[in-house]
Each structure stands twice: as structure tokens, then as C-alpha cells.
Amino acid sequence: MLDFGDDIPQLRQTLSSEQIAEYVKSANQVAPRFLSDEGGRKDGLPGQIAPGNMSLALFARLLEGAAANVEVRRISATFRSFVRPRVALVASGVVTDVEERDDGCLLECDLMLETESGERLVTGTGTVFVAQG
């Protein structure tokens, strides 16, 4: 059971161009910048980028890995820098508050999505309810 100050098990992932394209198609969020490098450059970007929502989805997976019987109640994210395909990503989190309830506990967490070299791409927070038992 996670306690105050504990790290959530990290998630490491490198997104492919195809994964990003599939995500936006499944999420009704198709736009040229999310489909190809050429599409991104036409929008004045360095190339293809992943939508912020995909980082949110990664944070949700990270939070669900925090413990068994987890309900994600809230996720908040600030998209600081572009998330690009073919870049190794590390999603991490730490518990910053624990509130005991009768049937479990509520955990507040700080969340971070960084490159392997430590560049912070997305920061955020999340709240999960961990049921007892």
C-alpha cells in the first residue's frame, strides 16, 4: 500500500508514429499535426506531435498502476513541451497526500512525464481512491 512520499511504479514508453495516429483516430481527434511529420510541419511544428490527451491517458495508466483496486477520480495536466514520436518517455509519480476513509483511502499524487534525459514535457496531479481489501 502506497504511503506519503512513496513513488508510483514508473511507466516507460516510446510512442511510434502509428500509435499516435491510431490514438487520435480512436479519440475523434484527427488533425494533420498528429498524423505525420509533414502534417506537423505544415502547422509550424517541428514534426508530428502527440495530443495532450494522450499524455493524460498515460497518466491514467500510471495512476492505475499505483495499487490494486484503484479508481482514478481526477487527473490534471499541464502540457509544457511537445511529446514527439520515437522519443523515450518516463512517466512517474509520487504520493503527496493520503486521506484515510472508512472503505479505503484517497491518494493525491504529483505526476511527471519526462524524456530519459530529464526534460519535463508534462506535469500534473492525480487523485485516486484505493479501496480496502
Partner 1 sequence: MILDLHAHSNASDDSRAPIEGYLKWLQKKREVVPVDGIVLTEHRQWSSEVDYRDLEDRYDTLILRGAEVETDYGHILLYGVTDEMARRFDFTDVHLRAQEVVTEVDRMGGIATPCHPGRPSIGLCEHYESKPALEGVRAVEALNGGSRRGENERVRGVMDEYGYKGFGGSDAHLVSLIGICATDFAADICDIDGLVRELRDGSYRAVDFRERVRAARG
Partner 2 sequence: MADPLPEIDRDLIGREFDRTVSKPVSAERMIRYARACGETNPRYLEDGPNLVATPTFPITVRRERFVPEGIPMEVMYRGMDAGKDVEIGVVVRPGDVLTGVGSLHDIYDKTGRSGKLRFVVLRMVVTNQRDEMVAVIDQRMMFR
Nearest alpha carbon to residue 44 among 27, 30, 32, 29: 32
**Site pattern 113..132 for partner 2 (x: CB under 8 A):** -----------x--------
Does 7 engage in binding with partner 1 (CB under 8 A)? yes
Does 23 engage in binding with partner 2 (CB under 8 A)? yes
**Residue 5 or 84: which CB sits closer to partner 2?**
84
Q: DSSP strand E in the chain: where?
A: 7-14, 70-79, 88-101, 104-115, 120-131
Residue 72 CA from chain centroid, whole number: 13
Among 14, 29, 69, 96, binds partner 2 (CB under 8 A): 29
CB of 120 to partner 1, least distance (A): 8
Among 17, 19, 115, 125, binds partner 1 (CB under 8 A): 125
Does 19 engage in binding with partner 1 (CB under 8 A)? no
CB of 80 to partner 1, least distance (A): 9
Nearest alpha carbon to residue 54 among 14, 81, 27: 27
Dist CA 33 CA 8 (whole Å): 32
